[in-house]
Amino acid sequence: MKYAFFQGCNIPARIEQYATATQAVFNTFGVELETVPEFNCCGYPVRNVDEKAYILPSVRNMAIAEKLGFDIFVICNCCFASLQKARRCLQKDPQLQEDMNTLLAREDLRYTGKTEIKHFLSVLHDEIGVETIKAKLVKKFKDLNVAVIHGCHILRPREITLFDDSFVPKITETLMQVAGINNLEWQGKLECCGAALSGINDEMSHKLLSEKIEGARKAGADFVVPVCSYCYLQFDTTQLNLTDENGNPLPVLLYPSSLASALVLMNKA
């Protein structure tokens, strides 16, 4: 398998380890993640400013991948939702697709809808498969309790993202169990972390984050595991700006990092 690797803007600049660990995991299974320098922002920052300006960058990215003959492999939830949104909008509106292709023609690009958008968790679960992952494990984690927070954009709106069951997601649960990680039930796992309000209403952003930290601690979490890059930045960076009422910061663990440890580092031991 080979995919066009779409990292978005935040991950290469601020969470490089997310991409590095993901590549290490998928290389173990013979999956090639091709970096495409021509990719641009998914358009998310202008989502509430101009609908067409929001959709066009994602359509351009899909047209680039289509020209290369690849589906797009995504690790950022916001990018995943933006790409899926653009794809759905063009499916429903042929005139919009024609308008977008008129703009893309300036770069000798054309969108026809052939390119699919793949979230890395779905590729792990559905295309590589649990049994294949199990076969590569030498050791598993023991007594590691984590609080997974999915983030908003992978689950909602479910008719756009088409990821798992948005009310009772099971993919992450299954993938955690494969590596011996105990995925706790906790209040806040499907709620907003507050990142969307950062810089707009910091008080509310911090309140939402504090609620998540409290919920994860009450459940007995050793780590919080964000799927979303924005959630990661909230827990890894913004958490440090909160008052001491939360005690020591709740450590953050990326799922690809934990799985990479089990698949790559442990195999080398």
Listed in sequence order, the DSSP H helices in 151-265 are 158-161, 171-178, 202-218, 229-236, 255-260
Q: Average the pLDDT over 115-129 and give the result.
A: 97
Q: Which residues pair with 4 in a beta bridge?
A: 34, 72
pLDDT value at 195 more than 50: yes
- The pLDDT of residue 126 is 97
pLDDT value at 265 more than 90: no
- The pLDDT of residue 243 is 58
Mean residue pLDDT across the chain: 93
pLDDT digits (tens, 9 = 90+) for 229-247: 999 999 999 999 885 555 6
Q: Which domains does the chain have, with CATH numbers?
A: 2-121 (1.20.1050.140), 138-268 (3.40.50.11810)
Question: CA 115 to CA 163: how far, in whole Å?
Answer: 17
pLDDT digits (tens, 9 = 90+) for 53-68: 999 999 999 999 999 9
- The pLDDT of residue 269 is 39
Share of the chain above pLDDT 70, in %: 96
- The pLDDT of residue 242 is 83
pLDDT value at 128 more than 70: yes
- The pLDDT of residue 166 is 87
pLDDT value at 172 more than 70: yes
pLDDT value at 268 more than 60: no
58 contacts 43 by C-beta, under 8 angstroms: yes
72 Cβ contact list (under 8 Å, min separation 6): 3, 4, 6, 61, 62, 65, 83, 115, 116, 117, 118
Query: Could you check whether the bond before residue 157 is cis, i.e. omega within 30 degrees of 0?
Result: yes
pLDDT digits (tens, 9 = 90+) for 1-31: 999 999 999 999 999 999 999 999 999 999 9
Q: From 120, 60, 127, 126, select the one nearest 87 (Cα to Cα).
A: 60
pLDDT value at 91 more than 70: yes
| Six-digit token string for 184 | 């706790």
pLDDT value at 210 more than 60: yes
- The pLDDT of residue 261 is 87
